[in-house]
Amino acid sequence: MNKIIINSLSAWRSSSAKCHTRMLFQKQRDLKYFHKNYNVKQTFLTSIQTNNNNNSKINNCIFSNNNNNSTCFRYFTSASAAEQVEEISVDESNNTWTPESRRTGALALKVGMVAIFDEWGKRWPCTVLYLDNCKVIQVKTPEKEGISSIQVGIGHKKLKKTTLPLKGHFDKAKVDPRRKLCEFRVTDDALVPAGTEISARHFVPGQYVDIIGTSIGKGFQGVMKRYGFKGQRATHGVSKTHRQMGSTGQSQGPGRVFKNKKMPGRMGGKQVTQQCLIVHQIDPVKNLIYVRGSIPGHKGNYVKIQDTKKNWGKRAFKEAPPFPTFIPSEDENIDELDMIVVEPPEEDFFGYR
């Protein structure tokens, strides 16, 4: 019994010693990483030093290159210090829309569905999308990143729940932390500066849009619900297998089940693209977009909305949309704006008039 206790104590001491030495080696490695491989520099604003000599906190961290071609950190005490970082210059001189131009999309919050009646009395089921302060976070150019794309963010996120690299990423764009980020590929003439707001008036009533979202998860389902199988007979020759799929393959010929066979499995919870939906109306005061039809996802989910890729024929723009995006005038009063509704058809759907 004493030998067992001694062996267990020795094993515990050896394991704890290994853990302790592992932690020490990790700390030493981290210190070498920061002090030897990198040239750490702290730059503090003189205004903040004079006001808060003893209470200055590091809020932002941005990478930069020094003269010795070695990467170094640049720490800032406020978002105003991050303004010293060099911004990406965007050429706004060539801002004429062409049919080959590809504008940026936006992130929106699915609010729910509502029924809207037009002047003829026709009922249109519409999905309400809310653009919760959607702004451009990053601009990627062919000269620097090799592609032309725009990263947008939506929602509000607490500063204490934002990581330090993301704080520097948001401070570089001079925006508050965002809850959701996504990226849209655009043409070179559709780039907009970082910090630009993408409002509901970026889209035009009557245009066709594509909406990308995550479908509602249904769990593990059978083939009748998942793929719409007919099932087996309800009476003769069937015993407790009315909703089963039946045979899954042949006999000795292949001797196996072919790939991509439709079988029971998990349904939903995947990315779904709903194409060619019509924008019915826009509320510029509340920054809402009313889209005809349903879109994937629960209420409260974030979805991507962008101009349809099938932009030919009747789905093409009748007039030039706001390009590269809608920028309101300085003397505009948003509270006095009315709802922008799509033009109703000239003829009555029901033939009453």
Residue indicated by tokens 């058809």 = 345
CB 149 within 8 A of CB 188: no
pLDDT of 35 strictly over 60: no
Number of H helices, E strands in the chain: 4, 15
Say if residue 41's pLDDT is above 80.
Answer: no
**Dihedral of CA 142/146/147/153: which sign?**
negative
pLDDT level of residue 344 (50, 70, 90 thresholds): confident
> How far is it, in rounded angstroms, from Cα 190 to Cα 106?
14
More confident residue, 351 or 93: 351
Residue with tokens 């700390």: 27
pLDDT tens sequence across 136-163:
999 999 999 999 999 999 999 999 999 9
Q: How confident is the model at residue 330 (pLDDT cuts 50, 70, 90)?
A: confident
Read off the pLDDT band of 116 (50, 70, 90).
very high
What pLDDT shows up at residue 347? 80
| Position 87 pLDDT exceeds 50 | no
Q: Kindly state the DSSP code that residue 130 receives in the 8-state scheme.
A: E
Contact 104, 131 (CB under 8 A): no
How many C-beta neighbours within 10 Å does residue 156 have?
A: 11
Q: Is the pLDDT at 72 greater than 60, yes or no?
A: no
Asked if residues 82 and 76 have their Cβ atoms less than 8 Å apart, the reply is yes
What is the pLDDT at residue 199?
94
Which one is predicted more confidently, 47 or 12? 12
pLDDT at 19: 52
Write the CB contacts of 278 (distance below 8 Å, at least 6 apart in sequence). Answer: 206, 207, 208, 209, 291, 292, 293, 342
Q: Give the pLDDT of residue 331.
A: 85
Instruction: Map out the domains of the chain with their CATH numbers.
Output: 2-84 (no CATH), 106-216+268-341 (2.40.30.10)
Percent of the chain with pLDDT strictly greater than 90: 60
pLDDT at residue 206 greater than cutoff 60:
yes
Residue among 202, 149, 157, 199 at smallest CA distance from 177: 157
Instruction: State the chain's mean pLDDT as an integer.
Output: 80
Q: Which of 92-106, 297-311, 329-343 has the lowest mean pLDDT?
A: 92-106
Q: Is the peptide bond before 264 cis (omega within 30 degrees of 0)?
A: no
Q: Which range is least confidently modeled, 184-198, 275-289, 335-349?
A: 335-349
181 band by pLDDT with thresholds 50, 70 and 90: very high
Taking the C-alpha atoms of residue 235 and residue 218, their distance in angstroms, rounded to an integer, is 29
Alpha-carbon distance values, 61 to 11, 78, 85, 152, 174 (Å): 43, 10, 11, 21, 14
The predicted model gives 329-336 an average pLDDT of 85
Question: Is the pLDDT at 88 greater than 70, yes or no?
Answer: no
pLDDT at 120 over 80: yes
Is 292 within 8 Å of 124 (Cβ atoms)? Answer: yes
**Residues 223-269 pLDDT 10s:** 999 999 999 999 899 999 999 999 998 888 888 999 999 999 999 99
Structure confidence by residue, pLDDT tens digits, 183-198: 999 999 999 999 999 9
